[in-house]
Amino acid sequence: MDVPHVWHGEAIIADTLQRGPEVSLASTDGRWRFSRWRQFVGSYALPGLPDPLFVVQLAGKTSVRTWERDGWSEDASYPGAATIVPATMATRWLVDGELDVVTLSIDADELRSAAVLDQFSHMRFAFNDPLGSALSRQILAELYEPESGARDIYVASLIDALKHHMMRGPRKTLAADFPTSAFSSYRIHHIMDSVRQKPEAEHNLENMAAKAGITASHFCRVFRKATNMTPHQFVLKVRLERAQQLLSQSETPMNAIAEMLGFASQSSFNRAFLRFAGETPTAFRNRRGAGSRGWAANA
């Protein structure tokens, strides 16, 4: 009687993507695996993996989303963010452009013996993780260096640190809690996330610049360089994307949507929506509302 072959998580990912990792390292006993994946684009479904997976985004676009019940997540991953995927949990991903991530899987038995397996029982998507990002980048830098005894010892120490960092779990810290001498990308993403979480709030240029710790004019320049839009354009875009969701998935009246998203009046909401979507809110709701759930399920 043949013994069925059990694939490890990285082999399953490679089979799903139809390509292997750019670089990979595994312990001799197979209890952990570290891999770098690049340039997977589009929408794809990943079956449940045998062990929890720790993912750190190194580079790529900020519109990386995961499927949540009946639609793509409002929050998006970004360079410097980490995600924990529980064992056996099937996931779906939407990637708009190139992506560069590293993954670390740790054998579930090791996590169980360390009494930390419970904290990997549910998905934690796109939390800010500067230490995980820094460790992952340093490990990669060493893996591209020529092999040597000293390098191998150093890499093993870094991997061990990243393992314990993963096992400790995400901390409830914000990007702004980490002081830097210069403006950094995770600060701008922290501000973008705060807009996505409460698009109806007053997100004026002065307030956003104060959160970033720089002048309003400098914030406007770096924000536009990073996103190809002004802060005002981004806030308006987020509000109108939320309006599309409300129009598609609810019967909320137009004037209530305009008010809850911070528009001065329904007429100003209608004008902004028409410029953004190329049709009126009423036309959008009539065209998309009835079939939006069915469309999302097939996306």
Map out the domains of the chain as residue ranges.
Answer: 9-173, 179-297
For residues 43 and 235, which has the higher predicted lDDT (pLDDT)? 235
Q: What is the pLDDT of residues 222-278, one digit of tens each?
A: 888 878 889 999 999 999 988 988 888 888 899 999 988 988 899 999 999 999 889
Tell me the average pLDDT across 51-74: 84
Q: Which residue has the tokens 């230490």?
A: 131
Question: What's the pLDDT score for residue 40?
Answer: 60
CA distance 129 to 26: 23
Compute CA distances 77 → 83, 147, 198, whole Å.
Answer: 8, 33, 17
The yes/no answer on whether domain 179-297 falls in CATH 1.10.10.60 is yes
Among 49-58, 98-107, 123-132, 165-174, name the one with the lowest average pLDDT: 165-174
DSSP code string of 170-226: --S--GGGS--SS--HHHHHHHHHHHHH-TTS---HHHHHHHHTS-HHHHHHHHHHH
CA distance 243 to 126: 23
Here the tokens at position 50 are 């045998």
Q: In what order do the strands lie in the sheet with 99-106?
A: 23-26, 32-38, 99-106, 53-60, 81-85, 124-128
Tell me the average pLDDT across 28-48: 85
Reference 128, options 36, 210, 206, 192; nearest CA is 192
- Quickly state the pLDDT bin for 172 (edges 50, 70, 90): low
Q: In what order do the strands lie in the sheet with 71-72?
A: 42-46, 91-95, 64-68, 71-72
CA distance 60 to 24: 20
CATH fit for domain 9-173, picks 3.40.50.300, 2.60.120.10, 3.30.2000.20, 3.30.1120.130: 2.60.120.10
Is the CA virtual torsion 73, 230, 211, 201 positive or negative? negative
CA distance 179 to 191: 15
| Contact between 8 and 33 (Cβ < 8 Å) | yes
The reported pTM is 0.56
| Contact between 120 and 82 (Cβ < 8 Å) | no
